[in-house]
């Protein structure tokens, strides 16, 4: 690393890889990981932690470190950003050379732009028979992604994440962009950064993975977020190895938190517990105090919303996930579901296996839905759920959760009966009237009339009665139906006396 001032030195870039679900994000990360981390080392926390470091030998023969975030997708990355944390320095937007831009590509790009970080486009799957790089460039331009050489300034690299073609060039590009961004860190400061993962381990307790964005973290220090604190009794790098200290851009696991820190929260480190507690206290005091005008306005708005939502059907959810990043991604996706007359309410969420307590909660106060993501179900929970008849749904793909929820919403949406118009006709002549049976002539103005249809009788835009079509003729021949623009004769059964100029509207009752 080159020194840029007395204390500041260049720091490794933190990279996030984003894009459509089938365009090769995971394959790219896997290739980089396997190519740059010794095989025997991959048994460490690389298998589960949300970040890892790789060493890359650049064109100039110098060895550089690069940190990669391994998130469940742009959903989790966006949810981190909502708390104000700027975790990544550079984004890689993966786009398939076969399929081009997809809706998730656009969503990922939106998140990158909101984060205001530079990005590189990786045109993947160039080894596929249907790959067309030029067509993909054009497709990107149509979606306002203007690459270098096509009228824009976004760097791009054609790659095959499966075979490894172009991966070295892509990593060289990451370092080039990082150099332009002039990323620096100060080794004389205490560490600060962001929480990117939290986990509850039954043996070890509460742990988190953090990315250090500046300074140094050492054993014996204390770390604090907005409302959580942890002593640094031991530090683990991304391989699960014990280390005495770590500095900027490194992913580090911290074990021993008093409570579960939220993903996306910024952390700071201190030499003493007293300093850490004072930091938390100052943050609490800076928040809105109870009974303040802002707080009262918010409470008033909540009351109004509650009164408006009295008639809305609610689907109560209990969510359990393996790690907090997955939980954040789940919540982000659930928030995007268009609810209409059905409201999704997350009444409980947590990290770890589905427990007996979760099942008891699902059984209390009416039916609740218990969803798990990448988690196991405790044997006691399985037994109790079977006895109580409670279904536990466990998924390992986020969009499968939303698909199931959308189906559930559809099934729970209140059904209403509505009238649906089939046709409209104008009565031109009355031929005869015999009690409630009337023979008339008319012309279909819209849709069709059919034998057996119920009709509304309309006079001067007002509904004056109803009737039933008992018979139809078209050009003096019997007909089962008459369509738009055709004149007809009809026998209509109704207690309302029809007159020339009236209109009859055929309709059916549909449940929606």
Is residue 326 in a domain?
yes
Domain boundaries, position 203: 192-286
Pair 109, 49 in one domain: yes
* Nearest CA-CA partner of 487 in 476, 495, 497: 476
Give the three-state DSSP class for 257.
Answer: coil
* Nearest CA-CA partner of 69 in 235, 177, 213: 213
Task: Give tens-digit pLDDT for 299-330.
Answer: 443 443 444 344 567 788 899 988 877 787 78
Is residue 293 in a domain?
no
Cross-strand partners of 114? none
Task: Give tens-digit pLDDT for 8-35.
Answer: 889 999 998 888 877 888 889 888 888 7
Mark residue 487 as left, alpha or beta (left: phi above 0; alpha: psi -120 to 50; beta: remaining).
beta
Residue-by-residue DSSP string for 277-333: HHHHHHHHHHSPPTT-HHHHHHHHHHHHHHHHTTTSEEEEEEEEESSHHHHHHHHHH
- Listed ranges 130-139, 291-300, 356-365; the one with the highest mean pLDDT: 130-139
Task: Give tens-digit pLDDT for 162-208.
Answer: 999 999 999 999 999 999 999 999 999 999 999 888 887 666 778 88
DSSP structural state of residue 199: E
DSSP structural state of residue 497: P
Are residues 30 and 83 in contact, defined by beta-carbon separation less than 8 angstroms?
Answer: no
Pair 144, 96 in one domain: yes
Confidence of residue 103 (pLDDT cuts 50, 70, 90): confident
Give the CATH number, domain containing residue 134: 3.40.50.300
Pair 408, 318 in one domain: yes
Pair 64, 159 in one domain: yes
Pair 27, 123 in one domain: yes
Task: Give tens-digit pLDDT for 399-430.
Answer: 788 888 888 887 777 777 788 889 999 999 99
Weakest mean pLDDT among 136-140, 195-199, 210-214, 252-256: 195-199
Q: Cα–Cα distance between 413 and 510 in angstroms, integer?
A: 15
Q: Cα–Cα distance between 183 and 160 in angstroms, integer?
A: 28
Is residue 295 in a domain?
no
Q: What percent of the chain has pLDDT over 70?
A: 86
Is residue 468 in a domain?
yes
CA atoms within 13 A on the CB side of 56: 23
> Average per-residue pLDDT in the chain?
84
Which of 217, 251, 286 is the last residue in one of the domains? 286
Is residue 300 in a domain?
no
Other CB atoms within 10 A of residue 486 CB: 16
Pair 378, 437 in one domain: no
Pair 180, 230 in one domain: no
Are residues 336 and 73 in contact, defined by beta-carbon separation less than 8 angstroms?
Answer: no
pLDDT at residue 390 tops 70: yes
Q: What percent of the chain has pLDDT over 90?
A: 45
Is residue 426 in a domain?
yes
What H or E segment, with its residue span, contains residue 493?
strand 487-493
Tokens of 105: 């590509």
Put the strands of the sheet holding 222-224 in their side by side order. 229-231, 222-224, 266-270, 192-201, 205-214, 251-255, 235-236, 242-243
Give the CATH number, domain containing residue 379: 3.40.50.10050
Give the three-state DSSP class for 177.
Answer: helix
- The model's pTM is 0.64
Are residues 12 and 64 in contact, defined by beta-carbon separation less than 8 angstroms?
Answer: yes
CA atoms within 13 A on the CB side of 467: 29
- Count of domains observed in the chain: 4
Pair 168, 198 in one domain: no
Cross-strand partners of 6? none
Give the three-state DSSP class for 171.
Answer: helix
Pair 477, 444 in one domain: yes
Residue with tokens 């104008």: 426
Residue-by-residue DSSP string for 18-87: EE-TTSSHHHHHHHHHHHHS-GGGGGSGGGT-SEEEEEEE-TTS-EEEEEEE--SSHHHHHHHHTTT---
Other CB atoms within 10 A of residue 74 CB: 27
pLDDT at 473: 94
Pair 13, 132 in one domain: yes
Is residue 385 in a domain?
yes
Q: Compute CA distances 221 → 190, 245, 311, whole Å.
A: 9, 10, 53
Is residue 328 in a domain?
yes
Tokens of 49: 């932690």
Distance from first CA to last CA of the chain, Å, rounded? 66
Pair 398, 279 in one domain: no
pLDDT at residue 296 tops 50: no
């Amino acid at each position: 690393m080159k020194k840029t001032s007395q204390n500041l030195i260049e720091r490794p870039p933190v990279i996030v890889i984003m894009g459509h679900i089938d365009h090769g994000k995971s394959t790219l990360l896997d290739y980089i990981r396997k190519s740059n981390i010794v095989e025997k080392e991959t048994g460490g926390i690389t298998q589960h932690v949300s970040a890892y470091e790789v060493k890359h030998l650049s064109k100039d023969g110098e060895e550089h470190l690069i940190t990669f975030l391994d998130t469940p997708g742009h959903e989790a990355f966006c949810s981190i950003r909502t708390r104000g944390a700027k975790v990544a320095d550079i984004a890689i937007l993966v786009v398939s050379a076969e399929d081009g831009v997809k809706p998730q590509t656009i969503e990922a790009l939106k998140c990158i732009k909101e984060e205001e970080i530079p990005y590189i486009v990786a045109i993947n799957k160039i080894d596929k028979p249907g790959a067309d790089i030029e067509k993909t460039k054009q497709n990107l331009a149509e979606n306002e992604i203007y690459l270098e050489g096509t009228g824009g300034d976004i760097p791009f690299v054609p790659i095959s994440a499966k075979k490894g073609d172009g991966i070295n060039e892509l990593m060289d590009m990451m370092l080039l962009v990082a150099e332009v961004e002039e990323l620096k860190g100060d080794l004389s400061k205490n560490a600060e950064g962001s929480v990117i993962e939290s986990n509850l381990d039954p043996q070890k307790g509460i742990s988190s993975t953090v990315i250090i964005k500046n300074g140094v973290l050492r054993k014996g220090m204390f770390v604090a977020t907005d409302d959580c604190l942890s002593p640094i009794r031991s530090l683990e790098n991304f391989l699960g190895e014990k280390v005495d200290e770590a500095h900027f851009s490194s992913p580090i696991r911290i074990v021993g938190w008093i409570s579960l820190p939220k993903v996306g929260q910024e952390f700071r480190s201190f030499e003493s517990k007293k300093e850490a507690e004072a930091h938390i206290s100052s943050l609490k005091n800076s928040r809105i105090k109870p009974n303040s005008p802002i707080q009262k306005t918010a409470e008033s708005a909540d009351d109004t919303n509650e009164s408006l939502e009295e008639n809305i059907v609610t689907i109560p959810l209990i969510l359990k996930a393996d790690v907090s990043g997955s939980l954040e991604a789940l919540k982000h996706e659930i928030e995007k579901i268009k609810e209409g007359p059905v409201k999704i309410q997350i009444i409980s969420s947590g990290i770890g296996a589905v427990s007996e307590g979760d099942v008891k909660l699902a059984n209390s106060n009416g039916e609740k839905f218990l969803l798990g993501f990448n988690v196991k179900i405790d044997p006691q929970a399985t037994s109790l759920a079977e006895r109580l008849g409670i279904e536990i749904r466990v998924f390992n793909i986020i969009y499968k959760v939303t698909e199931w929820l959308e189906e559930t919403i559809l099934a729970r949406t209140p059904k209403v009966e509505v009238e649906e118009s089939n046709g409209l006709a104008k009565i031109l002549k009355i031929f005869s009237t015999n009690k409630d049976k009337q023979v008339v002539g008319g012309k279909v103005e819209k849709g069709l009339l059919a034998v057996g249809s119920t009709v509304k009788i309309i006079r001067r835009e007002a509904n004056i009665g109803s009737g039933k079509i008992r018979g139809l003729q078209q050009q003096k021949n019997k007909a089962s139906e008459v369509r738009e623009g055709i004149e007809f004769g009809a026998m209509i059964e109704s207690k309302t006396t029809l007159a020339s100029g009236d209109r009859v509207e055929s309709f059916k009752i549909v449940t929606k």
